[in-house]
Amino acid sequence: MPTDEEHVAHMKQLQAEQRQQSLDSKKLERGLVLVHTGDGKGKSSSAFGVIARALGWGHQVGLVQYIKGTWKTGEHNFFKQFNESLRWHTMGEGFTWDTQDRQRDIAAAKAALQVSAEMLSSGDFDLIVLDEINIVLRYDYLAIEDVLAVLAARHQRTSVILTGRDAKPELIEAADLVTEMKEIKHPYQRGITARQGIDF
């Protein structure tokens, strides 16, 4: 265990390193591409946290949901109060195992990408979340090349978060920040159903 004097010296060194890192950092003149992926829970929840942060700064935010259908969620109930600052599109029809119609799912994904492209290129938004887009990419409902082209054509003002497990390597390569949620333990494994306020 370090002495108090050693602790102070260590903290001063960390402080100096942090300040130097801040001085050396460059400020990007464009929005960032963030990817939330992995087999653990929390990918969309984390994105909603960033939405709350952006709205807290008075930013204009967009959300396009690629998979989730029209079922009621706590986040949708909460964010309704931000209608002037948050444009919300639920384009999916629910889980892919519910529709069981590949062509219908492809059509829904393409329609969602068209809406996403228009929003991303408009210059009207500081942040746009493409929720569960990695799922439609995993099932090849969209071509990764088309998604990358939409991201490349976005307005420089706009940051974008793409959520969903199994993010494509090409998307990971193109991103500025990638976070992988890792499942350690899940109540579903013990037969516990989703809970209101925790899972939806």
- Domains annotated on the chain, with CATH: 32-182 (3.40.50.300)
18: how many CB neighbours lie within 10 A of its CB? 10
User: Rounded to an integer, what distance in angstroms lies between the CA atom of residue 166 and that of residue 61?
Assistant: 25
Mean pLDDT of 160-168: 98
163: how many CB neighbours lie within 10 A of its CB? 28
In this structure, of 14-18, 49-53, 144-148, 187-191, the range with the lowest mean pLDDT score is: 187-191
Mean pLDDT of 24-50: 91
Structure tokens at 199: 């899972």
- pTM for the whole structure: 0.87
Contact 163, 92 (CB under 8 A): no
Percent of the chain with pLDDT over 70: 92
Going by pLDDT thresholds of 50, 70 and 90, the confidence category of residue 6 is: confident
Contact 44, 170 (CB under 8 A): no
Mean pLDDT of 155-184: 97
Among left, alpha and beta (phi > 0; psi -120 to 50; other), residue 197 is left
At residue 193, the 3 state secondary structure works out as: coil
User: Rounded to an integer, what distance in angstroms lies between the CA atom of residue 47 and that of residue 25?
Assistant: 24
Strand boundaries in 33-143, DSSP class E: 33-37, 61-65, 86-90, 127-131
Contact 138, 146 (CB under 8 A): no
Q: Residue 193: is its pLDDT beyond 90?
A: no
